[in-house]
Amino acid sequence: MIQVATRGHALEDVLYQFTLAHPRPDADAVEAYARAYPQYARDLTELAIDLAIEARLPPAEDAVFARTDDDEIGLEKAISRFQNGLFAQSQEPAATPAAPDAPAAIDPFAGLDRTAMRGVARALNANTVFVMKLRDRRIRPDTMTPGFMAAAAQALNAANDDFREYVGAPRAMAGRRRYKSDMKPEAADKETFEEAVRGSGLTPEQTAFLLGL
């Protein structure tokens, strides 16, 4: 019984509950959860690997750590982040609280491992390079044909609107990089659909198929 309908939120719960149930997981534990939540199989695998690593490292519970200047700086940063977050919440009571965790547009690529990505590529008569361009929002949606939009949404088992909203969102900056620039960093420009098709190493047949959708 999944309590929360959205995929992202259910994922968080599944991962936390797996961790509490199996802090030292073995293959059987992973497979039991992967069968119950196949859409999160890859996430569960990654988490299980990390838990297995932590379980095998020598215990450091008794180690005494002297606090360093870096620790104090990190602590002050965290407290400042906390206080600033509280202040922002108090200033915008009507806004969706806690931007860092606000539910984003549905990600039709969430939970897709490499095998699943290949499956999507096959369903689209494309390759994984092209599918990764879609995933990374590197293609301008206004240049995609309606036929392609529908085919891609179907390949991803997503609603047409969800797919359109996803690829139309700004390109995400990579992970947790920190920037020193005074300017707000932006991801590189998107390609047109045709440029993306022609620049993905597809066969002539695949190229013609995709451009003809």
Partner 1 sequence: MVQPLTKRHLKTGKLYARRPQVEREIESLLQLPTATRLARARNIDLKPPDSMSDEALLHLVRDAHRRGAEEERNALIRPLFIRCQSRLKRAMPDGLFANAKKLRDDALSDFCDLMLTDGQGEIPDRLDYYEVNFADAFKKLRSTVRRAQDRDFQRNTQLPEDAESDAEEPVRADDVTRRAEELTATPALQESTLNAQDLERALKVLTPNERDAVVLQAMGYRIDSIKPKEVTIAQKLGVTRRTIQNWLASAEEKLRAQAKEDQ
| C-beta closer to partner 1: residue 46 or 161 | 46
Is 171 a binding residue for partner 1 by CB under 8 A? The answer is: no
d(Cα 68, Cα 118) in Å, to the nearest integer?
48
34 part of the interface to partner 1, by CB under 8 A: yes
Structure tokens at 44: 């569960």
Q: Which of 91, 93, 94, 100 binds partner 1 (CB under 8 A)?
A: 100
Residues 189-208 touching partner 1, rule: CB under 8 A, are 200-201
174 binds partner 1 (CB under 8 A): yes
Task: Pick between residue 147 and residue 201 the one whose CB is nearest to partner 1.
Answer: 201
Number of residues that bind partner 1 (CB under 8 A): 82
94 lines the binding site for partner 1 (CB under 8 A): no
Cβ-based nearer residue to partner 1, 103 or 168? 103
137 is written with which tokens? 């929002």
CA-only gyration radius of the chain, Å: 22
Residue 159 as a binder of partner 1 (CB under 8 A): the answer is no
- Using CB under 8 A as the binding rule, the residues of this chain from 111 to 130 that contact partner 1 are 113-118, 121, 127-129
Name the helix (H) or strand (E) containing 82: helix 69-91
Q: Which is nearer to partner 1, 40 or 163 (CB)?
A: 40
* Least separation in angstroms between CB 190 and partner 1: 14
Q: Please identify which residue in the block is written with the tokens 């609107």.
A: 161
* Amino acid letter, residue 66: A
23 touches 55 (CB < 8 A): yes
Q: How far is the CB of 15 from partner 1 (least distance, A)?
A: 6
Identify the CA nearest to 164 among candidates 186, 191, 134.
Answer: 134
Of 118 and 140, which CB lies nearer to partner 1 in the complex structure?
A: 118
Strands (E), 9-50: none
- Helix pair 27-36, 7-21: axis angle to 10 deg: 150
